[in-house]
Amino acid sequence: MRGGIGSLFEGDDEGDAVPASTATFGISAGPTDTDDAPAMHLGRIVSTIFITMDPHDFISRGPFPIARAWISARLDLAEADCEQRLEVAREQEVAEAAVQSFDRGHDGNYHDVNGDDGDNEGLSEEDDGDDSDDYDDDDDDCMEDPENLEYSLLVITKLKAQLDNFFPLDGPTPEPTIIVHDELNRHNILVDEKGALAAVVDWEGISAIPLFMACHYPSFIQSDELDEEPDRSKFHDEPYYWEKMEEYELAQLRKVFRAEMQRLEPAWVEVMQSEESERKLDFDTVLTKCFNPLSTAGLMAWLDDLESGDAGMMSLEQRLADI
């Protein structure tokens, strides 16, 4: 893959890289190809995160030659998104406070522009001068807590400070990448009556990503680790037993998957098991979870450990489990 992270490139007849936005792919018009066959133009593929979050024109969407540039752009995007959401949340907070203040101080009368007091005579029941009903209490559920967003912004700031530590500028340029289907779950894998693979669907979210992100188990076999088969006689809750049994079976499938990848592509397994990949995945996990109020305390504790240089620091997984 030569096009860089977040983009797709094809080679021309001379072997030079051609951006996918300009590459042309012939489509057969019938049993045999003809010179008049229609052409399909494949546009540039960007990482899904740049599609799902609000656009910010000043932030690059790639292609990125190295993982550091890709991660840095995602950090900038998260920071800009957080600042934007925080501004909206603060405005909503001020508006809510104003409505509540009005509710507390409203005495049922109104004052005209000349300062004369009046009553509500002549106003309909629906328009009695009390605007408090115009504020829907259900809107509270849609509001974001400014304090949570401020905490998320602090996590992003601390994570940015660790960029050199996790992504030093000492690797190859451009960095190797792999085109990955990022939703390879059981809903998107189709098999025939005999269980043989028939198709993989839902490809709109694919992108070219760094090796440390690409070399991991697909989502359809991810779960908590459970190497010992659960004993059904020890479970009083039947659904919970089957939940643990699924975790056990997925753990066995991961062993089969890893063994097959070791046979087909040993370098894939080497990347997956490397300490460097684990560290970079931790960095990505913090970036992915920075807006989750249930995770930010654990993320912050882990980042504080990094700043302190504690040699015996807890892992990110332990920190998140400890909250």
Residue 79 tokens, joined: 């920071």
- How much is the pLDDT for 24? 32
- How much is the pLDDT for 171? 76
What are the tens digits of pLDDT across the range 135-163? Answer: 333 444 445 899 999 999 999 999 999 99
- How much is the pLDDT for 19? 39
Eight-state DSSP code of residue 3: S
- How much is the pLDDT for 296? 94
- How much is the pLDDT for 62? 77
Q: Which of 157, 151, 145 is nearest to 79 (CA)?
A: 157
What are the tens digits of pLDDT across the range 189-223? Answer: 999 999 999 999 988 767 788 999 999 899 999 98
Locus of tokens 């983009």: 7
DSSP strands (E only) in the chain: 9-11, 17-19, 24-26, 39-41, 110-111, 117-118, 177-180, 189-191, 197-200, 207-210
Mean pLDDT split into 10-residue runs, the chain, 323 residues: 53 39 33 50 62 72 86 93 92 85 62 47 44 39 80 96 93 83 88 93 82 91 91 91 95 96 96 95 95 94 92 89 81
